[in-house]
């Protein structure tokens, strides 16, 4: 099935899209202007804030850790409910609030190379860890409760909008009845939306004097590969039978919650 996912056009918004229009397996579609995912909301101009207000965004969920927020704080406007539910995106127990992400990655690259072999292996493990580790699962549980109870438009975001935001989108879309094929198409749209930014970053990375292993790791962080998401989905299905069973058994979603979501978010 060919699904064309469109990027939301507004100044300083990165990898932002409305889930509206995505088809479900039973022939329905997600409503427009209700479920939005994005990259960071850093230094948004007033016109962009006005656009988000006009869309009716009432809740912003920030999935980043404190280090990322301190470096690039969100633009938050009056009346919006800002919720911080960090999904730890690195297998890095030593992250502190005083150290930048760049410093952290430089220090951790040797250990990651030793433990995971490649940046790609690390990314796959990170995706699985978010879904299967205790602390991020508690935050996923809180986030889904917000989605279920929210009556306005909810926007969730991480830094670039592809990894943590993509995992959350996968869970929500699965509960709404979107097929895995369409979920993956939505996920892979990040590759198209971020192409220019990542090409510039990769070119700049080639010129930076740092260890080759760190460059390979940072390049893997920029990639959008289907196996990152599918490996995590497969790990969940191996343990729980399906994504929806996982949401019910681990994240506390009930059949009535699913019905409520469908009433709110499907045409």
Taking only the tens place, the pLDDT of each residue in 78-89 is 999 999 999 974
| Residues in contact with 76: Cβ distance below 8 Å, sequence separation at least 6, in sequence order | 41, 60, 82
**What is the reported pLDDT for 196?**
66
Name which of 64, 81, 36 is nearest 172 in CA terms: 36
**What is the reported pLDDT for 93?**
40
- Tell me the domains of the chain and their CATH numbers: 17-265 (3.90.190.10)
The answer to whether the CB of 20 falls within 8 A of the CB of 35 is yes
Q: What is the pTM of this model?
A: 0.88
3-state secondary structure labels for all residues of 84-149: ECCCCCCCCCCCCCCCCHHHHHHHHHHHHHHHHCCHHHHHHHHHHHHHHCHHHHHHHHHHHHHHHH
Each as own residue / partner, the long-range contacts of residues 45-54 (CB below 8 Å, 24 or more positions apart, any chain) are: 45/11, 45/12, 47/10, 47/11, 48/10, 48/11, 48/12, 48/13, 49/75, 49/77, 51/10, 52/10, 52/77, 52/155, 53/77
**What is the reported pLDDT for 123?**
87
**What is the reported pLDDT for 207?**
55
Stretches in the chain below the pLDDT threshold 50 = 89-98
């Amino acid at each position: 099935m060919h699904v064309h996912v469109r990027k939301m056009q507004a100044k300083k918004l990165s990898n932002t899209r409305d889930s509206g229009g995505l088809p479900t397996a039973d022939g329905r579609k997600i409503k427009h202007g209700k479920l939005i995912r994005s990259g960071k909301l850093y230094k948004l101009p007033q016109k962009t804030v006005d656009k988000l207000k006009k869309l009716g965004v009432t809740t912003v969920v920030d999935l980043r850790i404190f280090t990322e927020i301190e470096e690039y704080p969100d633009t938050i406007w009056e009346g919006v409910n800002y919720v911080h539910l960090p999904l730890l995106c690195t297998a890095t127990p030593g992250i502190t609030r005083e150290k930048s992400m760049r410093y952290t990655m430089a220090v951790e690259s040797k250990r990651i190379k030793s433990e995971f072999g490649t940046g790609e292996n690390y990314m796959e493990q990170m995706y699985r860890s978010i879904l299967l580790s205790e602390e991020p699962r508690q935050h996923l549980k809180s986030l889904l409760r917000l989605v279920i109870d929210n009556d306005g438009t909810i926007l969730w975001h991480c830094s670039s909008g592809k990894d943590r935001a993509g995992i959350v989108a996968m869970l929500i879309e699965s509960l709404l009845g979107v097929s895995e094929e369409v979920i993956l198409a939505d996920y892979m749209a990040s590759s198209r939306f971020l192409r220019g930014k990542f090409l510039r970053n990769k070119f700049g990375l080639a010129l930076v004097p740092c260890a080759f292993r760190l460059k390979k790791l940072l390049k893997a962080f920029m990639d959008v590969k289907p196996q990152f998401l599918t490996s995590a989905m497969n790990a969940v299905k191996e343990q729980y039978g399906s994504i929806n069973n996982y949401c019910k058994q681990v994240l506390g979603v009930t059949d009535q919650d699913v019905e409520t979501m469908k009433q709110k978010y499907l045409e």
